[in-house]
Amino acid sequence: MRTRAAVATAAGKPLEIMEVNLDGPRAGEVLIEVKATGICHTDEFTLSGADPEGLFPAILGHEGAGVVMEVGEGVTSLKPGDHVIPLYTPECRECEYCLNPKTNLCQSIRTTQGQGLMPDGTSRFSTLDGDPILHYMGCSTFSNHTVLPEIALAKVRPDAPFDKICYIGCGVTTGIGAVINTAKVEIGSRAIVFGLGGIGLNVIQGLRLAGADQIVGVDLNPDKKPMAERFGMTDFVNPSEVEGDLVPYLVNLTKGGADYTFDATGNVKVMRQALESAHKGWGESVIIGVAPAGAEISTRPFQLVTGRVWRGTAFGGARGRTDVPRIVDWYMDGKIEIDPMITHTMGLDDINKGFDLMHAGESIRSVVVY
């Protein structure tokens, strides 16, 4: 079939909207119509050329929601008409990783996914001239239609609005999951969140859900303050307004350091500040942000010797086929909020405006509605 997609032709160039060919689903695969997709900072990271795994030409996008159109041979858990959220972290429930309760990082298709290919080593997308176009994070939601493995789709309730629940495909689950699944934050904790964008705000929402007493938000952009307060931030710190070093300031503000800190900036200097503002003896710092090729974290080993813990999280530690339908229920039951964070919506033709808004710091989440 033919479909319309925003194609990343080369690093650093705007996406090009064009008709592309899409082959039907092979065994174990599913064709879906994407109804809506969020634009995550990770899409911009890969488009910028900073992603060591970035390949071009490719169809980016990994924060979608849509409807099953056709299933390939052997698919048993989905049928045409089902509402689904694509998963860049699949859940095969069979691999060594899925069988280990310590991780959500299903590895059954990770190698081909990183190469921009379906599990059989081929792409379903091509130009109208027949040249292959690569998949991205196993999702490619910047296309009106896409093909995914069955294990990379979460079936969700049909009454949930696509233009909101697409955000559960990455940002919402990553932020809330980092608090609940990865850090396992206890009631009464003090926490610091670095970066109050589409992920950081969901960390704040997760901290409120977990019953944290103090939620400090740190961002260079003061425009992020009102939304963060709305989601539960108790103190705002703009590093550019702090006299002297940021770390001692935050340690003092949290009465000795935070029980939990989270990096949602992708900046390795901020990651160090996050680790060092965690409480001596027990503070845990969770890296969510994705750093550019070649960037490395550092600290004095003494920071860890004296009890601080550094960890990281992908997709908030969530097992997608199991956890994502539950998070959709939380949204539909009013336990979590999504709508205010979706600050802009646009059609596919205007997708580059979504990237411009992100660069300008004017949006939290832009959502493309097909």
Question: Which residues in 38-67 contact ligand NAD (CB under 6 A)?
Answer: 40-42, 45
Does residue 40 interact with Zn ion by CB under 5 A?
Answer: yes
* Other CB atoms within 10 Å distance of the CB of residue 164: 22
Of 151 and 170, which CB lies nearer to Zn ion in the complex structure? 170
Does residue 132 interact with ligand NAD by CB under 6 A?
Answer: no
CA distance 55 to 348: 21
User: How many residues are recorded in the chain?
Assistant: 370
CA distance 239 to 97: 39
Does residue 349 interact with ligand AHE by CB under 6 A?
Answer: no
DSSP label at 116?
Answer: T
Selected catalytic residue, list 92, 103, 208, 234: 92
Residue nearest to ligand NAD (CB): 197
**Span from 49-57, 92-100, 215-223, 334-342 in contact with ligand AHE (CB under 6 A):** 49-57
Question: Which residues in 173-232 contact ligand NAD (CB under 6 A)?
Answer: 174, 194-200, 218-221, 224
The answer to whether 260 touches 189, Cβ cutoff 8 Å, is yes
Does residue 271 interact with ligand AHE by CB under 6 A?
Answer: no
* Other CB atoms within 10 Å distance of the CB of residue 103: 15
Helix (H, G, I), strand (E, B) or coil at 218: strand
CA angle 169, 203, 189 (to 5 degrees): 145
CA distance 106 to 141: 20
Question: Which residues in 160-179 contact Zn ion (CB under 5 A)?
Answer: 170
Of 40 and 228, which CB lies nearer to Zn ion in the complex structure? 40
Does residue 266 interact with ligand NAD by CB under 6 A?
Answer: yes
The answer to whether 83 touches 157, Cβ cutoff 8 Å, is yes
The catalytic residues are 40-42, 62-63, 92, 95, 98, 106, 110, 170, 365
Residues within the interface to ligand AHE (CB under 6 A): 40, 42, 51-53, 89, 105, 110, 170, 290, 314-315
